[in-house]
Amino acid sequence: MKSRIVYGPILSRRLGRSLGVDVIKNTGSKKNCNYDCIYCQLGHVESKLGSPEDVKEPVTSKEVSQSFRNFHKDIEGLDYVTFSGTCEPSLNLSLGEMIRAVREIGGIPVCVITNSSLVGREDVRKNLAQADLIVATLVSGNENTWRKIHRPASGIALQEIIEGLRELAKGGAGKKLALEVMFLESEAGKPLNSTDEEVESLIATIRYICPDEIEILTVSRPPAEKWVRPVSEERLREIAKRFVSEFGEEKVRLVLKGKNKRSRVLHRELDEEVYALLLRRPCTFEQIWQGLNMDPKSLRSVLKKLLGESKIEKIDSETGEYYRTK
Please give the residue ranges that form the binding site for ligand SF4 (CB under 6 A).
31, 33, 35-37, 40, 42, 45, 88, 115
Quick one: 72 or 125, whose CB is closer to ligand SF4? 125
Quick one: 42 or 179, whose CB is closer to ligand SF4? 42
Which residue type sits at 253?
Answer: R
Which residue type sits at 285?
Answer: F
Q: Are strands 133-137 and 80-83 parallel, antiparallel or unpaired?
A: unpaired
Number of residues written out for the chain: 326
Residue among 119, 46, 126 at smallest CA distance from 87: 46
**Buried residues in 2-12 as b, exposed as e (16+ CB within 10 A):** ebbbbbbbbbb
Quick one: 153 or 199, whose CB is closer to ligand SF4? 153
Residue among 221, 208, 110 at smallest CA distance from 164: 208
CB of 33 to ligand SF4, least distance (A): 3
Q: What is the DSSP letter of 282?
A: -
Which residue type sits at 168?
Answer: L
CA 125 to centroid of chain Cα atoms: 18
Residues 6+ apart with CB under 8 A from 284: 320, 321, 322, 323
Opening angle at CA 222, ends 216 and 227, nearest 5? 90
Quick one: 67 or 115, whose CB is closer to ligand SF4? 115
- Give the Cα separation of 175 and 299 in Å (integer): 38
CB of 43 to ligand SF4, least distance (A): 9
Quick one: 11 or 40, whose CB is closer to ligand SF4? 40
CB of 136 to ligand SF4, least distance (A): 11
Quick one: 33 or 128, whose CB is closer to ligand SF4? 33
Quick one: 34 or 194, whose CB is closer to ligand SF4? 34
Quick one: 101 or 133, whose CB is closer to ligand SF4? 133
CB of 261 to ligand SF4, least distance (A): 25
CB of 13 to ligand SF4, least distance (A): 15
CB of 88 to ligand SF4, least distance (A): 6
CB of 262 to ligand SF4, least distance (A): 28
CA distances from 302 to 1, 116, 272 (A): 14, 36, 10
Q: Are strands 213-218 and 176-186 parallel, antiparallel or unpaired?
A: parallel
CB of 29 to ligand SF4, least distance (A): 11
Instruction: Reduce the DSSP state of residue 138 to 3 states and report it.
Output: coil
